[in-house]
Structure 1
Amino acid sequence: MTAVVLFDVPPSPTVAVKGSLSRFPVNRIFCVGRNYAEHAKEMGVEVDRETPFYFLKSPHALVETGATVAYPPGTGNYHYEMEFVVAIGKPAYKVSVEDALEHIYGYACGLDMTRRDLQLDARAKGRPWDLGKDFEESAVMSEIVQKSAFGAIGEQRIQLEVDGGIKQSARLSDLVWAVPELISHLSGFYHLSPGDLIFTGTPAGVGAVVAGNRIRGTVEGLPEINLSIGEPS
């Protein structure tokens, strides 16, 4: 007797690679919390300098730059969070900080769109953040730039504008946990695989958007990211 699949599921999403016809297939999306000290401060919490912490988004939350996304249901406080994204290109399990960069395919700009009221309500009750963080069209990505074309991570500026006004601005050197430290730490708990993405955290200046707003995010050396906020669906 041959087994029959009950129904079709969406294929794994992919992201464009700058200068290439190839596309990067997305496996998992790991997000780092409170990885800029000033953002933690504005959220009323302390940075945990003993160990980083994470939450996940479904790969099917991914949407590419240039999209218009509907204002999501269940929230009245929909926030942007600009992020530097790391794309894993080689398996990584229990890797050292010194070897971590060898496992990177490339980098991109990302937006961790957040239902802030739901996140803060869950946080106050000691519950998981899933409703606030993991929902449709909540992980926005630019094209990926291959690691060799980007160069070393250092003083590059990360910035976000809403309707032309600057809301977030910092440097990658402001990350509490640097990219090699994040990869090394995560790989102690997961077998990281090609296709995994790490959203490395957002600077201070997060805020709400409404239908009609246009978001533009940049990291020096990467393609910019653009997102329009549409009416509720």
Structure 2
Amino acid sequence: DQTSKTSYDLVVIGARWTGAVGEYWRSKTTYEVIKTIQPPVLVAIGEREQLKRFLVCTGGKEFIEQAVQFTGRLAAAVNASVTLLHVMAEPPAVYADMVRLEENVDQLLESKSELGTNLRRQKRELERLRVSADVRLRHGIVIDQVFEEAREGDYDLIVTGTSQARGLLRHYIMGDLTRSILNRAIVPVLVARAGPAKPGRTLWKAIKGLVRTR
């Protein structure tokens, strides 16, 4: 494994134009490389004359911030702007007031909610790197909204993440969203590395917490 012998900042993999069906072909090796090597992976899909507009798919969680930082450094190097996109599932009609609140980006970024706090911190990190940063919120099926935004915004690069698996083996988990983006994208896709997700609060941990407080 070449990447284990030499420390690389980025690995680039190509994708072949199939022509007949109007899509790009990704080999199984592409997915295996993404899951096993440590550096971020750029899959060179499509033809772009420049990389000036980056779209980062963020779930609004803390563990994605490592990927945001890497994207920010790359954007700073090529003088690109970054849009942080968060997609929320379509809620029932009874939550219409909450939806209106969340659709107000400025109000959300000023709120104390977990989503607002994390997006605000990610945006500030990009601005600290002197990168023009914007936040976009959409509602609906995540993968459909990602490509709707990508098409409307004419982005040159889509950034998604993989989380590091727990345990002794160093590998990365490629979720359904990342795989779907790779399968459908017609522009380059950067699969950045996110930190390990924080473990959830299990029932056993909650019980132990109650015992300690007595």
Provide the TM-score with structure 2 as the length reference: 0.24
Using CA pairs under 8 Å that are at least 6 residues apart, name the structure with larger relative contact order, 1 or 2. Answer: 1
More strand by share: 1
More helix by share: 2
Provide the TM-score with structure 1 as the length reference: 0.22
